[in-house]
Amino acid sequence: MAALAAVFALAILTHCSAVMGRAAPAIPPSTTAKGPVTYVFGDSMSDVGNNNYFPMSLAKSNYPWYGIDYPNRKATGRFTNGKTIGDYMADKFGVPPPPPFLSLSLAGKDVLGGVNFASGGAGILNETGVYFVQYFSFDEQITCFETVKKAMIAKIGEEAAEATVNAALFQIGLGSNDYINNFLQPFMADGTTYTHDQFIRLLITTLDRQLKRLYGLGARKVVFNGLAPLGCIPSQRVRSTDGKCLSRVNDYALQFNAAAKNLLDGLNARLPGAQMALADTYSVVMELIDHPEKHGFTTAHTSCCNVDTEVGGLCLPNTRPCSDRSAFVFWDAYHTSDAANKVIAERLWAGMSAGHGGAPPVAPPRVGASVPAAAPSPAPSQDDY
């Protein structure tokens, strides 16, 4: 499997350059939008179709019932019944949802706007998600962003490209798969090789390197989504003896979030112009789980498609969704519903705009965490990264 993964990793990295030469589909260019250029990195919670381009990927959702509540009832590769949290956040920013990287062409103007690099199955660690065969790991997503930046430089020059990237908002949502599809899986080596304290150190050390790499490529304004209460998602809850959330797994998520916040605070202090914040996704999602009725939901313990115990946990075409999809917090065994995503985005937006009078969080983002005031962004020295 490792050898196979290495072959596909090489193919994916080659794909980052080769696919960009194709003619681009008709996607509204975000360069005309009023809001910020936004780059999205993440896993299946943020994927808007990148995995559709991988013929051998086992992490896909491009079939009914996915997309049943998306415009034109179209399945797009989003792992929910409608829009993702990122889609709703884009509405708040006043920009179209950034298109999937693998849909773009270097020949078009779309490369100058926002881009979504997220890929179902991805994690912070490169070994996470390896059994999905084809996907973009976070390192590979960063490599693809590097390809985009080179294309920007070719189009508008290095100074303008650097200014665009410095002003852009980087949204990153990763880490869930490192637990759900790695550390907590008995057949993955990391769960037996490391204690949890050691595993967190591995995650944070890796994330530190990756964020410094993005910084070296010009990223300054970064929002990192903290882990949700993973012990409460349907696929984990069914493993408990009483049907309640797995407190041990939730504790893991909280410990990771605390370590991630310390990392971001440290990077802000060390890297000139860095404005990185942790989004408190945990509290937002936990409120929906503990008090679903406050937001119009009736069910938060099981999935709309009733696939909690199914292999893969997805709403396959042979399943039958619940009659009222807007009443469920979870769409399938892993992913929140369209209705929940809208509420989550609204709560995160409120946190981001808290220090800016409701303006789009462009300089700087504020997501439940303090970040330093905007500062000049000189070219980083080698010691910075």
Residue 375: pLDDT band with limits 50, 70, 90: very low
Q: Is residue 146 part of a domain?
A: yes
30 carries an active-site annotation: no
Cα gap 36→98, rounded to integer Å: 11
In a domain, 242, yes or no: yes
Task: State percent of the chain over pLDDT 90.
Answer: 76
DSSP 279-328: E-HHHHHHHHHH-GGGGT-SEEEEETT--TTSTT----TTS---S-GGGE
Q: The CATH number of the domain where 68 resides is what?
A: 3.40.50.1110
Radius of gyration of the chain (CA): 20
The mean pLDDT value for 229-240 works out to 95
What is the token pair recorded at 382? 């080698």
Q: Which of 15, 30, 43, 44 is catalytic?
A: 44
DSSP state of 100: B
pLDDT of the residue at 313? 93
List the one residue out of 164, 85, 162, 80 whose CA is nearest residue 362. Answer: 164
Q: What is the 3-state secondary structure (H, E, C) of 105-130?
A: CCCCHHHHCCEECCCCCCCCCCCCCH
pLDDT greater than 50 at residue 225 = yes
Is residue 295 predicted with pLDDT exceeding 50? yes
Q: Which two tokens stand for residue 245?
A: 């959330």
CA dihedral 303→306→311→312, nearest 10 degrees, is -40
Residue 56 has pLDDT above 60, yes or no: yes
Q: Which of 332, 337, 338, 377 is catalytic?
A: 332
pLDDT, residue 15, reads 52
Dump pLDDT digits (tens) for 342-367.
Answer: 999 999 998 877 643 333 344 434 34
* Active-site hit among 47, 61, 87, 335: 335
For residues 56 and 130, what is the distance between their CA atoms, to the nearest angstrom?
A: 12
Give the residue from 263, 258, 257, 268 showing the smallest Cα distance to 221: 268
**In which residue are the tokens 């037996």 written?**
192
Is 174 inside a domain boundary? Answer: yes
Three-class SS of residue 77? Answer: coil
Alpha-carbon distance of 168 to 347, in angstroms, equals 21
Kindly give, in sequence order, each residue whose CB lies less than 8 Å from that of residue 372, ignoring residues fewer than 6 positions away.
268, 275, 364
pLDDT tens, position by position, 75-105: 999 999 999 999 999 999 999 999 999 999 8
Q: Is the pLDDT of residue 332 over 50?
A: yes
332 is known as an active-site residue: yes
Extended strands (E) in the chain: 38-42, 115-116, 169-173, 221-225, 275-279, 299-303, 328-330
pLDDT the model gives residue 110: 78
Phi, psi angle pair for 352, to nearest 5°:
-70, -35
The verdict on residue 25 lying in a domain is no
Look up the domain containing 190 and give its range: 2-17+34-374
Tokens describing residue 18: 């080769």
pLDDT at 28 over 70: no
Highest average pLDDT, of 11-20, 58-67, 136-145, comes from: 136-145
**Residue 52 included in any domain:** yes
pLDDT, position 348: 93
How far apart, in whole angstroms, are the C-alpha atoms of residue 208 and residue 312? 31
Tokens of 232: 């409460």
Cis upstream peptide for 364 (omega within 30°): yes
Decide: 133 and 8 in contact? Cβ < 8 Å. yes
pLDDT of residue 373: 35
Three-state secondary structure call for residue 42: strand
Helix (H) or strand (E) holding 291: none
**In angstroms, rounded to a whole number, what is the distance separating the alpha carbons of residues 83 and 92?**
13
Q: What are residue 39's DSSP bridge partners?
A: 115, 170
Task: State the total domains in the chain.
Answer: 1
Residue 224 pairs in a beta bridge with 172, 278
Q: Write down the pLDDT at residue 43.
A: 97
Let me know if residue 29 belongs to a domain. Answer: no
What is the spatial distance between Cα 112 and Cα 135, in angstroms, rounded to a whole number? Answer: 24
Say what the pLDDT of residue 34 is.
64
What would the mean pLDDT of 280-302 be, rounded to a whole number? 96
